[in-house]
Amino acid sequence: MQKISKILIGAASAALLSACSTLPSGPKIDRSYSSVAQDSRALFLILHYTALDWEKSLKVLSTGGQVSAHYLLRDEPAISYQLVDENRRSWHAGQSFWAGNQNLNAASIGIEIVNAGYTDGPLGRVYAPYPEAQVQELILLIKDIVARHQIRPDRIIGHADIAPGRKQDPGPLFPWRRLAEAGIIPWPAPAQVTAKLPLYEALPPDAAWFQDKLARVGYQVPRNGEMDTQTKSVIATFQMKYRPSDYSGNADAETAALLDVVTTPGGMLLAVPNAAPTPYVSRW
C-alpha cells in the first residue's frame, strides 16, 4: 500500500511540474496602442561643472558610487560621453528645489562638464573658462536632448540655481548668453532692462521685494523680509547667470531691473532662427 501511495504522489508531482512548465513566462502585453496623454519624465535639464580634470571626472562619475550624470562632456577633445541611460535616474542634483519642485534627480537629465571650477587665491576667487569647442559641443548636446524630451527653455538650469549658496556650478564664466543666442533658453529683453533701470536707481526695492521676485523666477529663497545670507546667495546666483560681471550678491538697481524684466510677462525673449526674438512666457 505504501509503495502505491509513493507512486501516486510521484505521479502527481510530475504532473504539477509539467503544468507549471507550460505556463507563460510573462504577461501578455499588446503595445499596438498608445495614449496621446503623455510626455517625458525628463522635465528639467541641469548643467554642472565637475571641478576635476577629465580622468578624475570620469572615475568619480562612473565608479565613485555616490554621484553620476547622464552625460559627461570632455574638455579636450570636446566629446560627450553617455554614462547613464536617459530613462534611468542619475544622481547629480542632490538636495534641490526649483519652482516648487524638489529632489530633481527623478525628473531631470544631468550634464557634467569637465571644468576646473574655481580656485581661491590672494586676489579672490577665480573661475576657469570653458573652451570654445566644448561650448559648441554642449549646444549640440542640449539641442539633441531637448528635441527628444521637449524640455521647456525655462527648465534648462544650472546646479547653482537649484541649490544656491551650496553650489556654484556651472559658475559665472558659463556661457548662458550663448545658449540664449542659440535659442535654447530665454533671455531678458535688454531694452526693457535699460528702461526700468532709472526707476530702481531712484527707488531701491526692499528685501521683501527681492525675495518675492526671486521666488517667482523659481529659486528657493527666504520670505522673511530680511537681506540675510541666504537671500544674498540667491541674488549672487541670479547675477552669475544674467549679470556675471558682478555677482557680489548686492541688491543693486541693475539686478532689480533684471529681476523685474525676468518676472514680467513678455520680458523674456527667445531667439528664433531667421526671425526676431519672440516673447517667452514661463508656464509654471
Burial class (CB in 10 A: 0-12, 13-18, 19+), 218: buried
Determine the residue type at 42. A
Partners of 45 in the beta sheet?
109, 156
Determine the residue type at 88. R
Q: Which three cell numbers stand for residue 20?
A: 507549471
> Whole-angstrom Cα distance, residue 1 to residue 22?
32
- From the CB of residue 10, how many other CB atoms can be counted at a distance below 10 Å? 10
Give yes or no: 112 in active site. Answer: yes
Active-site residue, selected from the candidate residues 112, 132, 181, 226 = 112
For the chain, the C-alpha Rg in angstroms (whole number) is 26
Percent helix, strand, coil in the chain, to 5, is 40, 15, 45
Taking a C-beta distance cutoff of 8 angstroms, is the pair 284, 218 a contact? yes
* Residues whose CB is less than 8 angstroms from the CB of residue 74 and which lie 6 or more positions away in sequence, other chains included: 54, 80, 81, 114, 134
> Whole-angstrom Cα distance, residue 267 to residue 280?
8
The residue written with cell numbers 503623455 in the block is 38
Which of the residues are catalytic? 112
